């Protein structure tokens, strides 16, 4: 039986790269989830359009898929807003950041998880940042959201028919990141294609019920204590975003 791959954020740089990879693989049916139509559709990809924050519309779109013909469901979820939070933002969690990173996944995962009752295998692949473990205060809402997402994927993976892959990345070269930090040195920013190539083996044929992968572009001058010097991070980002 064939396998089905569902990729959210189909019009984004990373989602598009995953779609390109799977579109050339005959044993996979490939679906892209997106709020809006991509500028250029990828051949052999079927697109479904809905806002992932609207659980009813997500249900309506996914109900159009005939899952009976597939032995395995792969859901790749490279969706989630990032926000640089200034010093004066306090300790409150930005609900928009949380919903974008966590609720969008939950709304799809709740539907797909039901198929384990029919002996379908499910792989959930989500994304975070290599900086999440350092609790950098200037993107605390993003970090807290990603940590919660990790917990959810890990919990789902306790079921023997579900595997979880969590990919931690460094700064990724995307249109949104370039808009956020137009004056940054992008030489060592991570390309979406590298993320795909490094994660695909674990997504397709991994054996671990839950695994985290760190994918980054090595910087010759990087020191791990960079993430601990919050003042230096603040000054650097302010210059890059100016």
- What is d(CA 227, CA 224) in angstroms, rounded to the nearest whole number? 6
Q: Which of 6, 5, 16 is nearest to 174 (CA)?
A: 16
If you average pLDDT over residues 25-44, what whole number do you get? 92
Buried b vs exposed e over 76-96: b needs ≥16 C-beta within 10 Å?
bbbbbbbbbbeeeeeeeebee
Above 70 in pLDDT, residue 89? no
Classified by CATH at the fold level, domain 2-241 comes out as Rossmann fold (3.40.50)
Above 60 in pLDDT, residue 118? yes
Question: What pairing do the DSSP bridges indicate for beta strands 2-7 and 45-49?
Answer: unpaired
The strand order across the sheet containing 28-34 reads 45-49, 28-34, 2-7, 70-77, 121-129, 162-169, 210-215
Return the pLDDT at 163: 98
Return the pLDDT at 90: 60
% of the chain at pLDDT higher than 90: 86
Q: Which of 134, 62, 145, 57 is nearest to 98 (CA)?
A: 145
Return the pLDDT at 87: 65
Above 80 in pLDDT, residue 91? no
Cβ contacts of 192 within 8 Å, gap of 6 or more? 13, 14, 16, 17, 172, 173, 174
**What's the whole-number average pLDDT of the chain?**
94
Return the pLDDT at 206: 96
- pLDDT tens digits, residue range 129-160? 999 999 999 999 999 999 999 999 999 999 99
How much is the pTM? Answer: 0.95
Domain boundaries, the chain: 2-241
Q: Which of 123, 120, 125, 121 is nearest to 150 (CA)?
A: 125
What torsion do the CA atoms of 40, 75, 141, 178 make, to the nearest 10 degrees?
Answer: -30
Above 90 in pLDDT, residue 86? no
Tokens standing for residue 86: 């200034």
Place 50 in a pLDDT band, splitting at 50, 70 and 90: very high
- pLDDT tens digits, residue range 176-225? 899 999 999 999 999 999 999 999 999 999 999 999 999 999 888 878 78
Return the pLDDT at 212: 98
């Amino acid at each position: 039986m064939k396998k089905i791959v569902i990729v959210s954020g189909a019009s984004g740089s990373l989602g598009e790269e995953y779609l390109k990879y799977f579109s050339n693989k005959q044993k996979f049916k490939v679906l892209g989830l997106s709020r809006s139509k991509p500028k250029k559709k990828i051949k052999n990809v079927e697109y479904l359009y809905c806002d992932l924050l609207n659980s009813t519309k997500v249900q309506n779109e996914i109900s159009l898929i005939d899952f009976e013909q597939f032995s395995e469901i792969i859901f790749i979820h490279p969706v989630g807003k990032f926000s640089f939070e200034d010093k004066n933002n306090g300790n409150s969690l930005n609900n928009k950041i949380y919903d974008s990173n966590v609720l969008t996944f939950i709304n799809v995962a709740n539907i797909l998880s039901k198929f384990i009752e029919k002996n379908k295998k499910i792989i959930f692949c989500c994304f975070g940042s290599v900086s999440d473990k350092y609790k950098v205060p200037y993107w605390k809402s993003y970090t807290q959201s990603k940590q919660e997402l990790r917990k959810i994927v890990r919990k789902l993976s306790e079921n023997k028919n579900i595997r979880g892959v969590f990919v931690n990345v460094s700064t990724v070269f995307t249109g949104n990141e370039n808009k956020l930090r137009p004056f940054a040195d992008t030489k060592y920013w991570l390309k979406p294609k590298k993320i795909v190539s490094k994660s695909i083996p674990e997504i397709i044929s991994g054996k671990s019920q839950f695994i985290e992968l760190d994918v980054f572009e090595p910087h010759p001058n990087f020191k791990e204590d960079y993430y601990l010097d919050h003042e230096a991070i603040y000054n650097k980002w302010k210059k890059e975003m100016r």
